Structure 1
């Protein structure tokens, strides 16, 4: 196999933050090379250097034996490099075909029939079925991901970069994407897969490079590393410590808690909502959330869990049904009134719904609480920055400071900001968390789960929507399953057959 990409002694600094230091990387054609590391370890920075989104400060890059130093993404595209970014870049108002044409430069310059034939052929070759006539904004998360990959492959790249591509996908979609990665590599291309999920790399990876704190802590064929060794290289802690935090400690906390008997703080009755393309997204859904209880919702993507979170947050108005918080009917209330009632929401899409990337970390933390920092009619930014600095430290958010733009943070650290903001609502009566650990590294997952438990122990009702069944079982008091717009269950996480029961409910083979 030829060397597709070689990086030697690469370094990158952003202001006072040292993102990469003396990084070496070698990627071969025909292989899936996995780049592993915690949030803020430098994975996305490495991809941006290769793709031309940033320029290296030190070191050297070679592409297929030639010196390579891109200054913009157009340089990378010209050299046969394509990238699927962590956050989607599709234009929601355009159709899939029109989005693919944008990737080619101009709808007018590309013959429509030729483009559609190429997209269909790629979809068949790499098992990436896409509806070319659908508007991008109506697609599910998994469908949007497939379109992004097809758009990437339309240019027939020699090297494909995928930055955390599975962070937004469910189990079945993850399996399909990993199969696609293998097919791309087998077609003679080189694939760089950025992730921190060890189960995924064991299925598809050939070689790996592990980053921690912007430095390489290990590299080589995956067959040379055991799972425990990779965990320690990634987070600097033994795997046993993490297992203790994520399993034994959580189970002990659950079994010692008293039964939940309080009246529900949130009541949902007979929610109904239709999909834009037709069919029911929510079909008479009922739900009660009680103080001190953590309720989980599992389910295959597209069974109504996304619409449920949107209705609870106020982003989607249901066709019928009611949402009651603390005895008040808030079915049609705006988000600000829901926040005032004590509802916190960690949205599914942190980038487009959970934060304002162009604004600072401090602004994103306190945008809804600016009155707390007003002095004689003026905003006391010094006080706000001081408060934000404490949050950054408390939640281990890797940022250059309170005034750092959110866009400069890694996806995982953006998620930490969103989680911190919603947990700070006072009083927090109910927390709705959609995929709260999405994009987080192993250590950060543990920290978020602990904070969810702490919120419940302080008296809040907590709802967790996630594809990660193991996480739901580790933190929840009960697990429901979304299926065709309704909720089935509950399943007791302490039951030895809980995973099997959830699987049957997800597949519709149990009631």
Structure 2
């Protein structure tokens, strides 16, 4: 039997009062892709940082290639043959790709010709090619990540750690990344892939380990481990207990999530904590998504979704024309600072009680449209109307007062102040309600914040902890709580609302969007997750080269194919 590439035995790590990892055992074989799964805060990133020398374990033993391994820094880990691609990129955006790749720990000793020769080897072995002369700032997210992976491979590591690499990628980029992971493993290296998406695990993993609250909750070789087992180990529930849209969002056919691993024989769940798998009733028709080989399902949007003692009632779809539009975008055009066109004659309408989606590969104008709706970007032409009020030139505060809520795609940059407390973030722009005789009543503010945190299931030590101390899923819940708690909310615009979230947080976010629509709010969702949009929305527009094509009715069995063709620009 060959020596494992990486072994963790009894590993533990504590940060103050928080036990991040406890008695963790993981074995990663050479020539395999090993997925690490778990909800936000489960300890996945902590595990990767222990292996990469970010900090030492408090207990246990780590072995690399069968030898004791205790790196005291990332430089020591890299010297031993470990590479890591972090969730947040480390490239210098003002420099070219070549300049970034030349910035190794050896400084600038690597000559340009040597770099070119090495990149040719990487391209031939792993099918990864990069443009050395392109400035990083001008590159899309997927291309930047490719550079990060190439940078990691330059050292010819035996083990490469990928921390949440697919959270910001579109479907085609995810397909390319999966191909790269397979090629790296086929070359005899070990890949540790941290991901929330069980569909990706089914497609690429040779083995998986599930972390839950810092301990190993399940996993094993994928030839003998079902997706249902992994799902239950992650969240303590089966897919049948989640919002039916969740399966599509995490990249699974609901039936596969409950009954068997994709591409493998059904495997029953055993053990004292096993839950009896239950099927989800859907009206789906699986159809090809472009040329990637993935599929999407048009799921029934009517079933009641149970969440403990609560339930979400079926939403009655609005018939166009039966009510006044809550949001109208009419012939909106936006030009960038360099004079190029970001949006060209964009038009859409959202009615009360419906969920409308915008699909498309990033960079096709959807981000600019959200910025227009938020009041952050002026239009070059056209109008934006909220109910019967023209808000085209209104400032963000006025728009909020009129009833539009915005969940930006980059919550860290646009939706929160990390250094401020949860209470302060919850009531940004509404602190006046807590002023008494010119002073801020912090007790009243704390009570109100605590009530909102409880209502939105935000897991935090209290309303006065910094926003930046929370996991991504809990931060997103706070942002949603703020926007959905507006007294006169008429329209909610949510951009990439489930990006980077774990299954439990995805379930919560989608439930809140459904509830908003059920209450009569118009909801506009911008997402690169086409299966999510098909399962969640009534109609889907497609952003392509600054224009909005469609809409496509999601009840149409051919909706997935139509959206795919519009995204590729091959449909009218």
Q: TM-score, normalised by structure 2?
A: 0.81
The equivalent of 2:132 in structure 1 is: 132
| Change over 3 Å in CA distance of 1:329–1:230 after alignment to 2 | same
CA offsets 1:74-128 (integer angstroms, 9 cap, x no match):
333333322222223334333333333445464x555455445545653554333
Greater CA deviation, 330-339 or 273-282? 273-282
The equivalent of 1:206 in structure 2 is: 206
The equivalent of 1:424 in structure 2 is: 485
Q: 1:67-216 to 2 correspondence within 5 Å? A: 67-102=68-103, 104=105, 106=107, 109-115=109-115, 118-119=118-119, 122-123=122-123, 125-216=125-216
**Would the aligned equivalents of 1:44 and 1:410 in 2 still touch at CA under 8 Å?**
no
Greater CA deviation, 75-84 or 26-35? 75-84
| Change over 3 Å in CA distance of 1:451–1:45 after alignment to 2 | same
The equivalent of 2:302 in structure 1 is: 251
The equivalent of 1:226 in structure 2 is: 226
Q: 1:214-363 to 2 correspondence within 5 Å? A: 214-242=214-242, 250-252=301-303, 256-260=316-320, 261-274=322-335, 280-363=341-424
Greater CA deviation, 173-182 or 448-457? 448-457
**Would the aligned equivalents of 1:123 and 1:150 in 2 still touch at CA under 8 Å?**
no
Separation of aligned partners in 2, 1:52 and 1:376: 53
**Would the aligned equivalents of 1:300 and 1:467 in 2 still touch at CA under 8 Å?**
yes
User: What's the offset of the Cα at 1:173?
Assistant: 0.8
Paired residues, number: 510
Separation of aligned partners in 2, 1:331 and 1:122: 50
User: What's the offset of the Cα at 1:37?
Assistant: 1.5
The equivalent of 1:495 in structure 2 is: 556
The equivalent of 1:62 in structure 2 is: 63
Separation of aligned partners in 2, 1:192 and 1:259: 48
3-state SS of 2:431 partner: helix
Separation of aligned partners in 1, 2:222 and 2:529: 24
**Would the aligned equivalents of 1:251 and 1:474 in 2 still touch at CA under 8 Å?**
no
Separation of aligned partners in 1, 2:437 and 2:54: 43
User: What's the offset of the Cα at 1:428?
Assistant: 1.9
Unmatched runs of 5 consecutive residues or more in structure 2: 247-279, 282-299, 304-312
Alpha-carbon RMSD across the aligned residues, in angstroms, is 2.8
**Would the aligned equivalents of 1:86 and 1:411 in 2 still touch at CA under 8 Å?**
no
Q: TM-score, normalised by structure 1?
A: 0.90
3-state SS of 2:479 partner: helix
| Change over 3 Å in CA distance of 1:404–1:47 after alignment to 2 | farther
Separation of aligned partners in 1, 2:388 and 2:356: 20
Q: Which has the higher helix share?
A: 1
